[in-house]
């Protein structure tokens, strides 16, 4: 028991010295130790450890930023006019977007399907050959819709780009993987 206690004290002492500032003075000799310990009790040690402060400080560092430039241009966009009995219509833009950062992509609205008070917009996202060198690009397509106020749900055919912006749409690998309710809805626009 005395040997294991002495080894324990030496091990604890070596850990203590690791984080302490110690100046050696004179010749070092191992002292003789006589310990009287009652079974089940461990001696207490008072150790002064290094002081550690944790916090924050202001420092100038280089941080990569993403800049998305949106330019307004006059272009031809598809137009769909939907008449529903006893419903007032309003003109609105239905747009779909994807944000990519590996290769350039293009996105196109392929179909709009209708079922009760819901429209399903089915778009296609295709990867192109132009490498973006880590830059971020946002691609978009839109269609003008003259219809009653309907709930719109987007599905994109293609691989979902790894950007948080893309979480607002549902991505599927191909048309066969669309939900049944979308497949059974009436096609009101097809590109």
Question: Domain extents for the chain?
Answer: 84-190
E-strand spans in 55-136?
79-81, 90-100, 103-115, 118-131
Closest to 179 measured CA to CA, from 153, 140, 141: 153
pTM of the model: 0.57
- Contact, 146 vs 189, CB < 8 A? no
Separation of alpha carbons 88 and 110, rounded Å: 26
How much is the pLDDT for 60? 72
Strand order of the sheet with strand 79-81? 79-81, 137-147, 90-100
Q: Could you tell me the mean pLDDT of each successive run of 10 residues in the chain, 191 residues long?
A: 54 53 63 66 60 61 62 67 64 88 93 88 95 90 80 95 92 96 90 84
Residue 99 DSSP symbol? E
Helix (H) or strand (E) holding 10: helix 2-18
């Amino acid at each position: 028991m005395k040997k294991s206690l002495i080894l324990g004290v030496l091990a604890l002492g070596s850990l203590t010295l690791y984080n302490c500032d110690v100046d050696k003075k004179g010749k070092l000799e191992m002292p003789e130790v006589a310990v009287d310990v009652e079974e089940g009790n461990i001696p207490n040690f008072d150790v002064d450890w290094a002081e550690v402060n944790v916090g924050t400080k202001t420092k100038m560092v280089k941080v990569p930023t993403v800049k998305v430039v949106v330019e307004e241009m006059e272009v031809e966009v598809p137009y769909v006019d939907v008449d529903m009995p006893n419903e007032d219509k309003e003109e609105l833009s239905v747009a779909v977007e994807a944000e990519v950062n590996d290769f350039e992509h293009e996105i196109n609205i392929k179909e709009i399907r209708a079922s009760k008070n819901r429209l399903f917009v089915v778009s296609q996202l295709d990867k192109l050959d132009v490498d973006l060198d880590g830059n971020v690009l946002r691609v978009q397509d839109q269609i003008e819709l003259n219809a009653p106020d309907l709930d719109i749900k987007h599905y994109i055919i293609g691989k979902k780009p790894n950007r948080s912006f893309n979480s607002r749409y549902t991505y599927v690998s191909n048309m066969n993987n669309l939900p049944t309710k979308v497949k059974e809805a009436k096609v009101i626009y097809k590109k």
